[in-house]
Structure 1
Amino acid sequence: MVKQAGRSDAKLTEIGARPIPEFDGVHEVWPRGERLTAVRRAAEAYKKRFTTQGQVRAIKSVDIAAAPYPVKYAFHDAVSVPALPLISMINRMIVVQYDDWNGTPRTLVFEPTVPDGSAEAPFYRNLRTLIDRIPGGHLVEKLVLSYYNEPGDVLAQLGLEPGDIDFCTFDHLHVQDPRMILGSSEVIAGETGPRRALFGDAKMLVHSRELATLQSLHPMQWAWYVDGGLGGVAPEKFVTFDGDIELGQGIALLWTPGHTDGNHSLVVNTPDGVWVSSENGISLDNWQPELSRIPGVWKYHEKFGREICPNANTLEDSLDQYDSMIKEKTLADPCKADPRWLQILPSSELAPRKRQWPVVPTYAHGGIEYGEIEADLR
């Protein structure tokens, strides 16, 4: 079992990061209506400071794979299209370069999903079995599953070496196998020897509650995590934190619990303003249901008077997830191309495929890119 490091100011200083005081205590405010108000006000206050602290050096996203996902989960049961039980979500890897608070240039990889590892999560194993039993199941699989790039190949495309990466992180660890990223001293089933780390000596930044979840799964969480995904992983490969932290100029990891206890969101400041990325939703329709043309999503907003429509495969705490999505909406700036929409890039985004109509994103950014990713920053 991996021992949690916990958060200390000394540990954060060591990686050039620091805590964000604006959010201290907001997730303990009671009653819940007042907590939502506290979260919103804290996000407004932090945004004013965050935007004055500089921008990231560069950021670029690259598509990894399109994976199947049940429509009923994607929009909290708001959408019902019997002929379309599954849609595709595009997993994207984002590379960010920034200067930490010690003045050290850093390279972070966000969402480096390894499809072979994700396939071992019970949810996807069970889904694969179900598809195999359907007449013409192989055709269904072709419609919803696509592979574009492996994380290691993305580095090569960007002119980077594994040793150029300082940190990697996922917004949460659903269907992720840390062994695939950090390496393992044990032999993974189906392999012939210990797995090497994908990004050299890079550390994985993970919220302490998320790592603890993977160490001790509840039955209601079991299907979404890769059991045994920590086997043989050296404890020092993890850097854990609590609450909200800013890694450096123009980049923060905000604690956004609800989807999972340890969910966190990537927030970056760019020449076009602030962007947010997480899997609390799979399209902008989740955060802005009042603008959605996906059948059922606008009605969900109107009927319940809710500002958001959550991605709801797991509802560890639906009220927390609601508050977290408001936190994200408050931080994100309007899109330059169409100011009606916010600069929120789902870490797994609903694919804009015509064959999924009418469950296609009303608006999609399709990725993010600012500046030039550089090799050997130091």
Structure 2
Amino acid sequence: MTYKIHPIAVGTKVFDKSMMTYQYNQGKEFVIPLYVWYLEGGDKTILVDTGEMHPIQSAEREKALGGKIHTFEEGLAKFGLKPEDVDVILHTHLHNDHCENDYKCVNAKIYVHEKELENIHDPHPLDYRYLADFVEDVEEAGQIVPLREDTEVLPGITMLHTPAHTEGGMSVLVDTPGGKALICGFCTIDENLNPPPAIRGMEMEVIPPGTHLNVKDAYDILLKARGLADKVLPLHEPRFAAMETID
């Protein structure tokens, strides 16, 4: 089974670029997209993450991003879909900007690492982006399928435990017509995986994400991720906002 990957920008954040690239790009304002990734193929409607509930849809943000910003419903409608059509949600992690629209997908099974469920109900004070309100409805409805390890959740789709950004972070390995693609389970852009010469000159092959559990572990996980697929898709890379399909 192979799938086409459709990145749908359903929100943005504006912050210092070093939040993405550890100890590099300090003082540079940067706009990142928040994506829903629609995996088209087979007889199920599959999403990776569900993004922001109330995105800022301004001309300024879209210009900075280089692509259209949609509401969750608008993004799905591009493909003739509605939230209730979603069969499967695969979560990279449960920070709020990745799960705010889960409750709208009333017919979906939601796959997520059990550590994310633990942390969203008992977050560390530094991890303010865990908000239990966004998962309580789907938990009560019995929609969540907790995972403990690397798992092939559907033919051609495997979730891999990659705890660089959060304890239960999972990357999604997808068979596509063009080979294997890995949707990173940690908050990265192209520059993390393909650093500029100034960084490579310091004998660093990747740049860890600015928000991480352990910087050395995050470095090693990113380095490993680069070799897992034919294409590695950083979770917040802006250039995908202008793309209809990554196949």
State the TM-score, normalized to the length of structure 1.
0.57
Counterpart in the other structure of 1:102: none
Aligned equivalent of 2:91: 170
- 1:107-153: CA deviations, max 9, x gaps? 2111221243x89xxxxxxxxxxxxxxxxxx9998976897211222
Gapped runs of 5+ residues in structure 1? 1-54, 100-104, 120-137, 184-197, 293-297, 334-342, 353-363, 372-378
Mapped partners of 1:60, 1:139: distance in 2: 22
CA gap 1:199/1:230 in 2 versus in 1, 3 angstroms: closer
Corresponding residue for residue 45 of structure 2? 107
SS in 2 for 1:348: coil
CA–CA separation in structure 2 for the residues paired with 1:67 and 1:147: 14
CA distance in 1, matches of 2:204, 2:241: 23
The equivalent residue for 2:153 is 247
Shift in Å, 1:286: 0.7
Amino acid at match of 2:163: P
Question: What residue is the counterpart of 1:226 in the other structure?
Answer: 131
Q: Give the aligned partner of residue 277 of structure 1.
A: 183
Deviation digits for residues 45-73 of structure 1, max 9, x if unmatched?
xxxxxxxxxx4243322222332132121
Q: Percent identity of the aligned residues?
A: 22
Conserved? CA contact 2:181–2:232, under 8 Å: yes
Match of 2:208 among 310, 326, 329: 310
| Normalised TM-score (structure 2) | 0.84
Gap change, CA 1:175 and 1:164, over 3 Å in 2: closer
Match of 1:154 in 2: 75
Equivalent in the alignment of 1:300: 199
Return the index of the structure with the highest Cα Rg: 1
The Cα shift of 1:268 comes to 1.0
Higher percent of residues as strand = 2
Tell me if 1:67 matches 2:10: no
Contact 1:345 1:367 in 2 (8 A): no
Determine if the alignment matches structure 1 residue 324 to structure 2 residue 221: yes
User: 1:177, 1:63 → 2: CA distance?
Assistant: 12
Q: Deviations over 1:330-363 (max 9, x none)?
A: 1121xxxxxxxxx2222212x36xxxxxxxxxxx
Amino acid at match of 2:80: G
Distance in 2 of aligned mates of 1:268 and 1:56: 8
What's the CA shift string for 1:224-248, capped at 9, x where partnerless? 2225434444341211101111123
Higher normalized helix content (fraction of residues): 1
SS in 1 for 2:171: strand
- 2-structure distance, mates of 1:109, 1:142: 23
In 1, distance between residues paired with 2:21 and 2:98?
26
Partner of 2:108: 202
Question: Structure 2: how far apart are the matches of 1:370 and 1:312?
Answer: 26
**1:1-378 pair list within 5 angstroms:** 55-80=1-26, 82=27, 84=28, 86-99=29-42, 105-116=43-54, 148-176=69-97, 178=99, 180-183=100-103, 198-221=104-127, 223-226=128-131, 228-235=133-140, 236-278=142-184, 280-289=186-195, 292=196, 298-303=197-202, 305-313=203-211, 315-333=212-230, 343-349=231-237, 351=238, 367=243, 369=245
Q: Distance in 2 between matches of 1:258 and 1:307?
A: 16
CA distance in 1, matches of 2:61, 2:74: 24
What is the CA RMSD across the aligned residues, in angstroms?
3.0
Paired residue secondary structure (1:61): strand
Distance 1:78 1:330, change over 3 A: same
| Contact 1:281-1:310 at 8 Å conserved across structures | no
Q: What is the CA–CA distance in structure 2 between the aligned matches of 1:278 and 1:59, rounded to whole Å? A: 13
Q: Which amino acid aligns with 2:234?
A: P
Contact 2:182 2:228 in 1 (8 A): yes
The alignment covers a number of residue pairs equal to 244
- CA-CA distance at 1:78 after TM superposition: 1.7
SS state at 1:324 partner: helix
C-alpha contact (below 8 Å) 1:279/1:348 kept by paired residues: no
Give 3-state SS (helix, strand or coil) of 2:44's partner: strand
Q: Report SS of the residue matched to 1:275.
A: strand
Which ranges in structure 2 are unaligned for 5 or more consecutive residues? Answer: none
